[in-house]
Amino acid sequence: MIVYDLECQDGQHRFEGWFKSSDDFANQRQRGLVTCPYCASANVDKAVQAPRLARKGNQLPETGSAQSKHAAPPAPFPGPPAPVANAPLPPQAFEMIQALAKMQAEALKSSRFVGDKFADNARAMHYGEREAEVIHGQATVTEAKELLEEGIGVMPLPLPVVPPEQAN
């Protein structure tokens, strides 16, 4: 996936867009499928942006003290996010996101974090190799598609979850 900072040329609104490739962006833009979420203009182009460099695969993230593997889910948002491109988040949108965060946090209380072993655990439960329980974790897009093709119900969480060992 490629993340582009996009800019509406009519209203000078800035926003983010995710695409499979630069050709996918060009194709969608040409067909008028890329529109400004603020004013619905299709006059959208890539904004000037700094490069986003990912950490190398062999670099370990900095770790603090050891955390319990069964730490409580993250707390709901403490306040509204900063405005994006001079367009603050409407209060109704913030309230909806906050309600969604509360529902997700409540659901995760009865779920066990299994990290990157999500696909293995989901398969084992589906095929009766281990007792069923509610779990959450990480899976690649390929793993998620394979699970769905096997008839194993999975879905992404609407909001990011910090793994227990990274929670502060």
Task: Please write the tens of the pLDDT for every residue from 70-94.
Answer: 555 555 555 555 555 666 677 888 8
Asked if 102 contacts 158 with a C-beta cutoff of 8 angstroms, the reply is no
Q: What residue ranges in 9-165 does DSSP mark as E strands?
A: 14-19, 44-46, 112-113, 135-136
d(CA 159, CA 144): 17
pTM score of the predicted model? 0.45
Q: What confidence score (pLDDT) does residue 66 get?
A: 46
Domain segments of the chain: what residues? 2-46, 91-161
Q: What confidence score (pLDDT) does residue 142 get?
A: 92
Kindly list the distances between the CA atom of residue 58 and the CA atoms of 48, 65, 139, in Å, as whole numbers in the listed order.
Answer: 30, 21, 19
**Residue whose C-alpha is closest to residue 8's, from 38, 48, 30:** 38
Task: Please write the tens of the pLDDT for every residue from 18-44.
Answer: 888 888 888 998 988 899 888 888 898
d(CA 89, CA 94): 6
